[in-house]
Amino acid sequence: MREVAILSLFLIALACPALCKLSRSKHVPPVVLIPGDGGSQMEAKLNKSQTIHYICSKMTDWFDLWLNMELLVPYVIDCWVDNMKLVYDNVTRTTSNSEGVETRIPGFGNSTTVEWLDPSQRSPTGYFKDIVNALVSLGYERGVTVRGAPFDFRKAPNEHSEYFLKLRRLIEETYQYSGHKVMLILHSMGAPMIRYFLKHQPQHWKNKHIETVVSLAGAWGGSVKAVKVFTAGDNLGIYVISAVKVRDEQRSAPSLAFLLPSPELWGPDDHFIETDTMNVSTANLKDMFDALDLPDAYEMYLDTKDLINNAPAPGVEVHCLHGVGVDTVEKLVYTKKGSFPDSPNLVYGDGDGTVNVRSAELCLKWKDGQKQNVYHKALKGIDHMQILSAKESINYIVELVSNITDKNIAKAERKIKRLTRLEKKKEWAKILKSNSHPSSNVLPEYKDFSFNSIYDLVKLQKKKEEDRRKNDYEGTCYLQRTL
């Protein structure tokens, strides 16, 4: 029986390279997707006593509020603005929905609600879908190894304490399930959100759970476009919508104040508004809010302006990808009297059409501020949304995933070898212990033997048997001579 056991172990060892081949899909780094401003679906439920228009609903069950293209058509959009805008409380310094409006963010932990902004999955509303499709082709599973962390993008980090707790749990659960550290992929406002999150995590937690951070078009230090939204508004890229129509909703969001240009990057002489009566920079933003008669918005700015200003390096590996060579608003100039705020002449600089290049490149400052690597890649002619589907950025992510997977497999193979050597020692100890022959105790010259393979064990057993036979033979000869 002992010979059969030894032979079985020997055959398993020979077959292990084929039987124990590691599956790549089991060793991919799990991914958590962090969307940007407007990058999460939102649902609403109404119970209103009055509306701004007779066509607006007062009472509803849950329905898609963002993104729902049917709500952005003329006239109906007035109802949408009224349901989306927030109300600021300057005592609690927090925001809430308008009276009679309840909202929720669906799909936390899954990927579907950040792959598509419109649940109907109409082609213009695709978001992380191309990146997720590329990951699935590598063996990822939606909701398991690629997950989404959507949030209420109207609010800034100071109102997202519950979200950040959920995000931390999501990262920990994903790490524990997969056994591998997590890759975070961020877009736009997702970058400063994660900068704030990582600022509040201990280094030992980041070392254990975070593999790397990939930022796509990260608005690390804000954007002049936020100034334009506060002043002239933005039509959300939908040509039939008037920017002025949606401006009230946009101005009510603390996240817009959070995304204003950071004094970390824009100095007091870097004017981004010029009129015949004032020049505005980060040093005197209050003048802009006063001119717009937006006292609550100014309070939101005070609440958010120092959340990540001059924050330390994140303490994790960072891959910073962003577009360049696309006209991006650098300054709003009002040459005609009375043209402020609706009709600026826009002065353009470099960037991706939304985020100025100085903000997208803020990550370069961390190269000397942390021991973890910081990588940077500028993509010529790729705009703020194209980066989510551009082959250059997707290929970069796929290659990065492949390299990390190779590292994870190599680590797993080393672990298997250590465990295999340990099991061999344990198995041989059992075999020796079970031998009933009086002379089968481990001889002194084998006591410190290092078992490196089954082959060594077989040789040891053979030598032990030869020694036993030799001792028996010599003992017999001695008896014969004596007799």
Positions marked catalytic: 188, 352, 384
Question: CA 12 to CA 44: how far, in whole Å?
Answer: 60
> What is the sign, positive or negative, of the torsion defined by CA atoms of 249, 252, 258, 260?
positive
> What is the sign, positive or negative, of the torsion defined by CA atoms of 6, 10, 16, 18?
negative
Alpha helices (runs of H) in 252-356, residue ranges in sequence order: 254-258, 285-292, 295-304
State how beta strands 94-97 and 86-89 pair: antiparallel
> What is the sign, positive or negative, of the torsion defined by CA atoms of 118, 123, 126, 131?
positive
Calculated CA dihedral for residues 175, 181, 187, 188, nearest 10 degrees: 100
The beta strand positions in 338-444, using DSSP E, are 345-349, 374-380
The full length of the chain comes to 483
In this structure, the number of other CB atoms found within 10 A of the CB of residue 214 comes to 25
The DSSP call for residue 419 is H
Position 32, amino acid: V
Query: Are 373 and 400 within 8 A, CB to CB?
Result: no
Query: Are 217 and 351 within 8 A, CB to CB?
Result: no
Question: CA 396 to CA 363: how far, in whole Å?
Answer: 18
Question: CA 335 to CA 38: how far, in whole Å?
Answer: 32
Q: ∠ CA(101), CA(107), CA(110), 5° rounding?
A: 170
Question: What residues pair up with 95 in beta bridges, in sequence order?
Answer: 88
Question: CA 204 to CA 12: how far, in whole Å?
Answer: 40
Residues 122-133 as b/e (b if ≥16 CB within 10 A, e otherwise) read eeebbbbbbbbe
The beta strand positions in 238-289, using DSSP E, are 273-274, 279-280
Question: CA 231 to CA 247: how far, in whole Å?
Answer: 8
Query: Are 271 and 284 within 8 A, CB to CB?
Result: no
Position 475, amino acid: G
Structure tokens belonging to residue 360? 């997208």
Question: CA 286 to CA 294: how far, in whole Å?
Answer: 10
The DSSP call for residue 329 is E
